[in-house]
Amino acid sequence: MRKNPIYSSIDYEKNGIQHGFLRLPHSRDDSAWGAVMTPIMQIKNGSGPTALITGGNHGDEYEGPVALFNFAGRTEFEDIQGRVIVVPAMNYPAFQVASRVSPIDGVNLNRTFPGKPDGTVTQVLADYFSQTLLPMADYVLDIHSGGKTLDFVPFSASHQLEDKQQEAKCRAAMRAFGAPYYVSLLEIDSGGMYDTQAEEMGKVFVSTELGGCGTTRVESIEIAKRGVDNFLIHAGILDGELQHGKEKPMCLDMTGDEAYLFSKHSGLIEPCVNLGDNVKKGDLMARIHIIERTAVPPYEYHAQCDGMVIARHVPSLVKMGDCLNVVAEIIEDEF
Ligand code: CA
């Protein structure tokens, strides 16, 4: 099989702070010998664990990139023991055009792992993470938000894993991140996800959803910045004390399909609940108005389980099959 064509200008074994690029040759109409240049930085100080921290896996999610462009600007590394590799905007072509998927090949990076060294641009990038960056890492943090089409209450997340020891380590790191909520996440479809790749390689993996609507808020940025430091402190890489918010974090569980409310209609959403509201099974969640004509009664959508509204669809126009809401159960902290 072809060798991965990405060239990294970072020397991963070198001590100190380095800024560089992952250069992926991309010959195209406006640049015969062009390349996709994904910014990457590393801080290394002696021996110790390695953390790999990413944002912009989906190009329209911004808490990760803002927190990581900030982190990458640090000039000190005496308080670091080990290695931190930071890619603020993982799917860089998507990030450049504020899109969830790559404009080059239309591929969703987070559905294409483990990737292919001889595939399309996004598949080659995924392969580089699978074959080069992930093998170096002990701790992996991938900062997500809802993008242009979803909005979330801010939470860190880990998955239920077959290896219970690994699961416990992921949960401990998820807690340490210090978001107001944490969630034991059940993915709709975990195939091809970066999460799954990192977990199958035995890494301590934490993901997040910190907001959405294709933008950021002061509070969500604060959570992301604090979370990056907390994650590194927890990993034993950064000196310092864990910093948590004022409120005690709440633990949420999404273990059943009933957590997800999908639209069976296309139309105009009239929301009947807000993010963070507590609902009971059967409560009215939203009404969807048919927009082709007047005097058609709206379709009503009801909660399928008790819990808290942790996600909502953002554009007011919804399409059949879109996720309208997610409801998670509030559980006793058992982590
Ligand atoms: Ca995402």
Q: What CATH architecture is 7-253?
A: 3-Layer(aba) Sandwich (3.40)
Cα-to-centroid distance, 292 and ligand 1 (Å)? 32
Residues with CB under 5 A from ligand 1 (ion): 58, 144
Cα-to-centroid distance, 151 and ligand 1 (Å)? 10
Cα-to-centroid distance, 118 and ligand 1 (Å)? 25
Q: Is the pLDDT of residue 189 over 80?
A: no
Cα-to-centroid distance, 140 and ligand 1 (Å)? 16
The confidence score (pLDDT) of residue 38 equals 98
Q: What CATH architecture is 258-328?
A: Beta Barrel (2.40)
Q: Is the pLDDT of residue 236 over 90?
A: yes
Contacts of 249 (CB under 8 A, 6+ apart): 175, 178, 179, 180, 181, 182
The confidence score (pLDDT) of residue 334 equals 58
Contacts of 111 (CB under 8 A, 6+ apart): 189, 191, 192, 193
Cα-to-centroid distance, 57 and ligand 1 (Å)? 7
Distance spanning both ends of the chain, measured CA to CA:
43
Over residues 210-228, the pLDDT tens digits come to 999 999 999 999 999 999 9
Cα-to-centroid distance, 41 and ligand 1 (Å)? 22
Cα-to-centroid distance, 147 and ligand 1 (Å)? 6
Cα-to-centroid distance, 211 and ligand 1 (Å)? 10
Residue 261's DSSP bridge partners are 325
The confidence score (pLDDT) of residue 307 equals 95
Q: What is the percent of the chain with per-residue pLDDT over 70, rounded to a whole number? A: 98
The confidence score (pLDDT) of residue 186 equals 65
Helix (H) or strand (E) holding 230: helix 218-234
Over residues 85-97, the pLDDT tens digits come to 999 999 999 999 9
User: Where is pLDDT greater, at 185 or 20?
Assistant: 20
Where exactly does CATH 2.40.50.100 map onto the chain? 258-328
Q: Is the pLDDT of residue 335 over 80?
A: no
Where exactly does CATH 3.40.630.10 map onto the chain? 7-253
* 43's tokens: 């801080």
Cα-to-centroid distance, 294 and ligand 1 (Å)? 36
Average pLDDT for 121-150: 98
Cα-to-centroid distance, 235 and ligand 1 (Å)? 24
